[in-house]
A = this chain, B = another copy of it.
Amino acid sequence: MSRYEVRIGGFGGQGIVTMAVVLGETLSLIDNKYVVQTQSYGPEARGGASKSEVVIGDEEIDYPKVQRPDVFIAMSRAAYLEYVDGMREGGILIVDEDLVQIEGSLPSSVRVYKIPATRIADMEVGNKQTTNVVMLGALAAITGIVSVEGLKQRIAERWPRFKELNLKALELGLEAGRRAVESSQT
């Protein structure tokens, strides 16, 4: 993997910054990758779409901005519409299927995976604030870019008091991701 680009888009309160930070920490501290993790904000951010980005490499990252994402995780309609353009041919689009409809023209080679992350967090984990960890699990299962063991270790280090809750969210996200991959292959 010379360079791999992940973009996460959503709205305030969904924890997309934390999601990108935990992904970046796991990749660098545990999976021994180089990572640049970025948030860009304008004055229009409140109430609109926001995004976090992670650029991953085996060597030091020269250019920190995402150019054509390998993976785009869309967690709101506004973020989908704002950032879906520019996806790489053969890229991976992961959407929270309760919040995002596929609209407009995608390159036909883009693979789409639908994960009900907010619903899983709310109904199965019992805490909507774990939506971002559910989505991290789905990302790991779908792309394999980050180690599952690494995510478990980092989550346990980062949230010692909420470890069980977040590990449950991760596990359910992994299962949802695996199911999405299976159903895409049938």
Q: Which A residues have a C-beta under 8 Å from some C-beta of B?
A: 12, 17, 21, 24-25, 27-29, 32-43, 45-46, 60-61, 64-65
B-side contacts of A65, CB under 8 Å: 64
The distance in angstroms between the C-alpha atoms of A32 and B24, with both chains bound, is: 28
Q: Give the residue name and chain of the B residue nearest to A41 (CB).
A: B28
The distance in angstroms between the C-alpha atoms of A42 and B21, with both chains bound, is: 14
The distance in angstroms between the C-alpha atoms of A33 and B42, with both chains bound, is: 6
Given that A17-B21, A65-B64 are known contacts, is A36 also in contact with B43, CB under 8 Å in the complex? no
Q: Give the residue name and chain of the B residue nearest to A31 (CB).
A: B43
The distance in angstroms between the C-alpha atoms of A39 and B24, with both chains bound, is: 9
B-side contacts of A45, CB under 8 Å: 28-29
- Checking B37, B43, B60 against A33 with a beta-carbon cut-off of 8 angstroms, the contacting residue is B43
- Checking B21, B38, B42, B43 against A64 with a beta-carbon cut-off of 8 angstroms, the contacting residue is B38
The distance in angstroms between the C-alpha atoms of A21 and B17, with both chains bound, is: 8
The distance in angstroms between the C-alpha atoms of A27 and B46, with both chains bound, is: 11
B-side contacts of A27, CB under 8 Å: 41
Nearest-neighbour CB distance to chain B for A164, whole angstroms, equals 19
Can you list 19 residue pairs at the A/B interface with Cβ under 8 Å? A21-B21, A24-B41, A25-B41, A28-B41, A28-B42, A28-B43, A29-B41, A29-B45, A29-B46, A32-B43, A34-B42, A35-B40, A35-B42, A36-B40, A36-B41, A37-B38, A38-B38, A40-B64, A64-B65
- Among A12, A29, A41, A65: residue with most chain B CB under 10 A: A41
Nearest-neighbour CB distance to chain B for A15, whole angstroms, equals 11
The distance in angstroms between the C-alpha atoms of A29 and B43, with both chains bound, is: 6
Given that A28-B45, A65-B64 are known contacts, is A39 also in contact with B37, CB under 8 Å in the complex? yes
